[in-house]
Structure 1
Amino acid sequence: MTPELYALAATVLIHLAAVLWSQRSLEADIGKEGNLGTRENLEARLSEKTLRLRRALSNHTENIGPFVIAVVMVQFTGTNGWLSALCAWVYVAARALYLPAYAFGWVPWRSVIFLAGLAATLVMILSAIL
């Protein structure tokens, strides 16, 4: 297995951690009914931290797609190398740091961390194209 595929597997673990952290925070705010009910009008009952965790999870979900595409492109084009491996792990580190950065309101670091992950993904895509 390549370093990029290992990074993709690590991204799944980060995603699961984001889901669990978000759901545990939701449950701490309103109890088990938050996970069992329809979740209608839920936001008004959630703490600011839980709302940030839910936004962080949403952002993470939105950013997995381009990273998966980058890994697939690198794999299919055979352009794996030190650059794509480094970028893949920069993405993983950025996503792992992004969750607490969003949850705890690390300004401006949240944006810097996001941009690092995005840049790493774009470099992978460009390296596979060029």
Structure 2
Amino acid sequence: MTAELYALAATVLIHLAAVFWSQRSLEADIGKDGNLGTRENLDAQLSERTKRLRRALSNHTENIGLFIIAVVLVQFTGSNGWLTGLCAWIYVIARALYLPAYAFAWVPWRSAIFALGLLATLVMVLAAVF
């Protein structure tokens, strides 16, 4: 298995951690019964940290597709190498840091961490295409 595929597998773990952390925070704010309900007027009941965790999860969900595409392109084109492997793991590390950066409002570091992960993904795509 290639470094890029291992990084993709690690990204699954980060995604699960984001879901779990967000859900635990949500339940801490509204309780299990509230979580089982309709969740109407939910934002009014949530702490700022829970709101940030939910936005971080949403951002992760929106951006994981780009990374999956990058890994698929690298795999299918046989462009695997030290650069794409390094970029894949930079993405994983950036996404792992992004969650606490968003949750704990690390400004401006959250944006820098996001940009690093996005740049690593774009380099992988470019390596596959050119």
AA aligned to 1:36 is: L
**Corresponding residue for residue 46 of structure 1:** 46
**Cα distance in 1, alignment partners of residues 38 and 19 from structure 2:** 17
Give the secondary-structure state (helix, strand or coil) at the position aligned to 2:41. Answer: coil
Name the SS of the counterpart of 2:106 in structure 1: coil
Supply the RMSD in Å over aligned alpha carbons.
Answer: 0.6
| TM score, norm. by length of structure 1 | 0.98
Residue 104 of structure 2 is aligned to residue 88 of structure 1: no
| TM-score under structure 2 length normalisation | 0.98
Q: CA deviation at 1:94?
A: 0.2
Change (3 A) 1:34 1:89: farther
Give the match for residue 68 of structure 2.
68
Identity of aligned residues (%): 82
4+ residue segments displaced more than 4 Å: none
* Counterparts of 2:104 and 2:38, CA distance in 1: 27
Alignment of 1:17-36 (within 5 A): 17-36=17-36
In 2, Cα distance between equivalents of 1:33 and 1:117? 37
Q: After superposition, what is the alpha-carbon deviation per residue over 1:44-102, rounded to whole angstroms, capped at 9, x for unaligned? A: 10000000000000000001000000000000000000000000000000000000000
> Is the 8 Å Cα contact of residues 26 and 34 (structure 1) preserved in structure 2?
no
| Residue in 2 that maps onto 1:12 | 12
Shift of 1:36: 1.3
